[in-house]
Amino acid sequence: MRSVHNHPALHNLKGQFIIASPALDDPNFVHGVVLVLHHDTDGAVGLIVNRALELTIEQAWSNISDLPCLVTGPLHQGGPCEGPLMVLHTGDAHAQFQTPSGISCTTNRNDIEDLVAANIDERPLKFFVNYSGWGEGQLESEIREGAWLIAPASLDQVFSLTGETLWRRLMNRAALMKANPWLRPEQIPDDPSNN
């Protein structure tokens, strides 16, 4: 992987994954893959996309809404910072954050209810409690210290892969890019053994 000092995406990581390096020993982020939703000079906000909880959406829904719950699946631990329920989805409507790859995020209760009620076509939805946040210059400093690697994020990776599988695949991709810096990320398969 290219040096972060020369990495063009370091100036704005919105829509990128940051992948916890094996050297990162913060228990909040060990083997974590964070989708960066917002990044500017004031700091960054993201969600750990590969940390499912045992609690399901259906079990938590009565604390969120009086409407029927029409979706299934686990809640995810988005990070160590307390915050509202957040939902990743692929629609343009109901988006407080939107990445260049078409991943949207909403935190508004009414919008979340609308997304759930309108999900008859079963578009991907991923629900999160809490979030990950960094103050001014903090994330950049952690990247320069080697705590995080950067990789492009895709819809498939965010919504289909979970747990250690996503972290291992992205770490393999990062290792390939470091060994072969001339490779372009979009040409590397998610599972390099399938190449």
What pLDDT tens digit does each residue of the chain (195 aa) get? 333 434 444 578 999 999 999 989 899 999 999 999 999 999 999 999 999 999 998 898 888 888 888 888 899 999 999 999 999 998 877 788 888 888 999 999 999 888 888 765 577 899 999 999 999 999 999 999 999 999 889 888 898 877 788 999 888 877 776 666 555 555 555 555 555
State residue 194's pLDDT score. Answer: 54
**Of the candidates 17, 12, 6, which has an alpha carbon nearest to the alpha carbon of residue 185?**
17
**Of the candidates 145, 149, 139, 146, which has an alpha carbon nearest to the alpha carbon of residue 171?**
149
- Residue type for position 40: D
- Residue type for position 68: P
Which domains, ranges and CATH numbers included, belong to the chain? 51-130 (3.40.1740.10)
Own/partner pairs, 169-178, CB within 8 angstroms, 24+ separation:
170/17, 170/19, 170/33, 171/19, 171/22, 174/1, 174/19, 174/149, 177/1, 177/2, 178/1
Q: How many residues make up the chain in this entry?
A: 195
State residue 156's pLDDT score. Answer: 87
Say what the pTM is: 0.84
State residue 183's pLDDT score. Answer: 54
State residue 52's pLDDT score. Answer: 94
Own/partner pairs, 186-190, CB within 8 angstroms, 24+ separation:
186/152, 190/156, 190/157, 190/161
